[in-house]
Amino acid sequence: MKTALDLGCGDLKEANSLTEYHVIAVDRKIEGVPLPHVTFIEGDYFDMEFKGEFDLIYSDYSICFNRRERIEENFPRILSLLRQGGILIIRDFSSEEKVVQKRTNLDEEWFFELLRKNVGTLKIERKEVYEENHKHTHHLLIMTCQKV
């Protein structure tokens, strides 16, 4: 079975939906019920030593809540666990997003360079998504890399 690592899994919605993977889902606190293909680990992912290799590493709206120094120091160690040919997907908010405060702006060259250096060629997409509940448009940034 393929393996995936979910950094900052929140309510486990994404991890639970990836039924073709064994998902290691990490968060500081548990907010959902893991399905049998999901292993939840509680704690700070930047303090952890993960074992093995992953076919997919992804993080949705999570890494931006960590300080730049923490990211620069610890993210390369996690990215080294991506298997050759494996995929990295990071979803975050673009610098157009004005509402989100108290976060590190990942929509910057230092972060893109970190991904290129530790994974490979980077694809950056930007999307605007209207959120009906909050009557607000989100400006999303989606970064995808394949390990070469």
Ligand X SMILES: C[S@@+](CC[C@H](N)C(=O)[O-])C[C@H]1O[C@@H](n2cnc3c(N)ncnc32)[C@H](O)[C@@H]1O
The binding site for ligand X (CB under 6 A) comprises 8-10, 26-28, 44-46, 60-62, 65-66
Using CA atoms, how far residue 136 sits from 33, 46, 66, 96, 144, in Å, is 29, 31, 24, 13, 25
Residue nearest to ligand X according to CB distances in the complex: 10
Q: How far is the CB of 122 from ligand X (least distance, A)?
A: 20
Q: Looking at beta carbons only, is 31 or 128 nearer to ligand X?
A: 31
Q: How far is the CB of 148 from ligand X (least distance, A)?
A: 26
Q: Which of 65, 4, 56 is nearest to 35 (CA)?
A: 4
Q: Looking at beta carbons only, is 44 or 85 nearer to ligand X?
A: 44
Number of neighbouring beta carbons within 10 Å of residue 6: 28
Which residues is 38 bridged to in the sheet? Answer: 23
Q: How far is the CB of 84 from ligand X (least distance, A)?
A: 26
Using CA atoms, how far residue 12 sits from 16, 39, 96, in Å, is 6, 10, 27
Q: Looking at beta carbons only, is 28 or 123 nearer to ligand X?
A: 28
Q: How far is the CB of 30 from ligand X (least distance, A)?
A: 10
Measure the CA–CA gap between 33 and 30, rounded to whole angstroms: 8
Q: Looking at beta carbons only, is 21 or 45 nearer to ligand X?
A: 45
